[in-house]
């Protein structure tokens, strides 16, 4: 009886909230209590960086403002890079809700055979999600995995260098293991689960979820979709995992994701506040009396910021030119992995593309790829100001 009452209360709460379906409705700043001058300042700072392709501001579920660089529009795909980590981690929460995973504090070895070794058998799912597994962490942060044919094979060979739970290290291998944990728990790939359990539930239909050449879902990166659709995922978390009356992800898991678990993280190459934290594949960019701002984050400047208290979502994606397909195939660029550096691989590949020897639009190479014009600089430099601006969009009283 008590559960039924709670469910009915949940339905009544969300019945009054607007959820986009089909055509996304818009509203102006005055209608939702925001200050247009403050919004304009946020978009000016965002587009001061020429790498910005698209930006969308959502308040109370409505599009308040959106802007696109020349040659792009609301249907243009951006690629997520590490923003995808937050998407795939949500599937772990759903498996937890369904009893397929018993606890975040279970050993990964309960679901992944390669972790049934003396050095890995005590690593928990929570430690994988919180980037505290203790797995080996080279200078390239395992970004070199991206150039491999079999990303899972690469990930499973990585050893342990620190006791689990003691050190935060932003390690891509942790996120790549999410797919194997999910497969062990459900028997399905992360790509299939993402469609069945999240995207089909929130009306997200037009996207690309990338797999490597061996058929493994690239759960540490690589979802292509529009800025509007990236925003939908942010709105789902803003609404406590509920979408128009249906609980997609439990509120408990959303709450656990959006907390200041790891209170201060090492610098990622740009300025940020001292309270910038991390929890279950989400970043916490601001956590003070003024506001609590959480975000996904992807290489070169892909962000979905959410302010749950004010029901605000701000998505910003950089310029991107999708290649065909959804299975990575390096083709003539497969030798890049032998360069030993992701930066050298970028320099060489961009040079080959600039002189026309390699093209992404002819099908010979299939992969997410960011050109130099999609690599952020000013957005990172203005990161703290941008986060503070998101927290201060309301009209002054």
Least confident piece of the model among 58-62, 309-313, 357-361: 357-361
Task: Give residue-wise pLDDT tens across range 352-367.
Answer: 999 989 888 888 899 9
Token pair 């797999």 is at which residue?
211
Query: Which domains are present in the chain?
Result: 19-323+372-390 (3.40.710.10)
Higher pLDDT residue, 397 or 342?
A: 342
* For the chain, percent of residues with pLDDT exceeding 70: 92
The mean pLDDT of the chain is 92
Rounded (5°) CA angle 321-322-326: 165
* Separation of alpha carbons 388 and 38, rounded Å: 11
Per-residue pLDDT for 13 more than 70?
Answer: no
CA 26, 316, 324 angle in degrees (round to 5)?
100
pLDDT in tens, 252-274: 999 999 987 765 555 544 444 44
- Sequence-separated (6 or more) residues with CB below 8 Å from residue 168: 130, 131, 132, 262, 265, 266, 278
Is residue 201's pLDDT more than 70? Answer: yes
**pLDDT band for position 5 (50/70/90)?**
very low
Tell me the pairing of strands 282-287 and 292-298: antiparallel
Find the range with the poorest average confidence among 72-86, 257-271, 338-352. 257-271
């Amino acid at each position: 009886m008590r559960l039924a009452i709670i469910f009915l209360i949940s339905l009544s709460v969300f019945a009054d909230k607007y959820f986009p379906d089909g055509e996304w409705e818009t509203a102006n700043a005055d209608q939702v209590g925001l200050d247009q001058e403050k919004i304009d300042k946020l978009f000016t700072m965002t587009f001061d960086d020429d790498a910005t392709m698209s930006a969308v501001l959502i308040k109370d579920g409505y599009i308040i403002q959106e802007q696109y660089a020349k040659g792009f529009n609301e249907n243009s795909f951006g690629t997520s890079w590490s923003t995808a980590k937050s998407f795939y981690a949500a599937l772990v929460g759903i498996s937890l809700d369904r009893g397929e995973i018993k606890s975040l504090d279970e050993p990964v070895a309960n679901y992944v055979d390669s972790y049934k070794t003396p050095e890995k058998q005590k690593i928990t799912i929570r430690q994988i999600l919180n980037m505290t597994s203790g797995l080996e962490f080279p200078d390239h942060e395992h970004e070199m995995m991206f150039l491999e044919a079999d990303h899972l094979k690469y990930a499973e060979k990585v050893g342990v260098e620190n006791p689990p739970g003691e050190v935060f290290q932003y390690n891509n291998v942790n996120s790549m293991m999410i797919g194997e944990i999910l497969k062990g728990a459900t028997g399905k790939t992360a790509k299939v689960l993402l469609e069945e359990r999240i995207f089909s539930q929130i009306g997200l239909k037009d996207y690309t979820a990338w797999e490597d050449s061996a058929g493994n879902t690239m759960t540490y990166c690589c979802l292509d979709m529009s800025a509007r659709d990236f925003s939908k995922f942010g709105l789902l978390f803003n609404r406590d995992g509920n979408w128009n009356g249906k609980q997609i992800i439990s509120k408990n898991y959303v709450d656990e994701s959006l907390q200041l678990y790891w209170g201060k993280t090492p610098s990622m190459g740009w300025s940020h506040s001292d309270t910038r934290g991390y929890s279950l594949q989400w970043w916490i960019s601001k956590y003070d009396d003024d506001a609590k701002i959480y975000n996904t984050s992807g290489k070169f400047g892909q962000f979905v910021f959410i302010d749950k208290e004010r029901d605000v979502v701000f998505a910003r994606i950089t310029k991107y030119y999708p290649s065909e397909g959804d299975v990575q195939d390096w083709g003539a660029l497969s030798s890049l992995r032998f360069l030993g550096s992701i930066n050298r691989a970028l320099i060489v590949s961009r040079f080959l593309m600039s002189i026309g020897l390699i093209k992404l639009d002819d099908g010979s190479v299939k992969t997410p790829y960011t050109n130099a014009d999609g690599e952020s600089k000013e957005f990172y430099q203005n990161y703290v100001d941008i986060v503070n601006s998101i927290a201060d969009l309301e009209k002054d009283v």
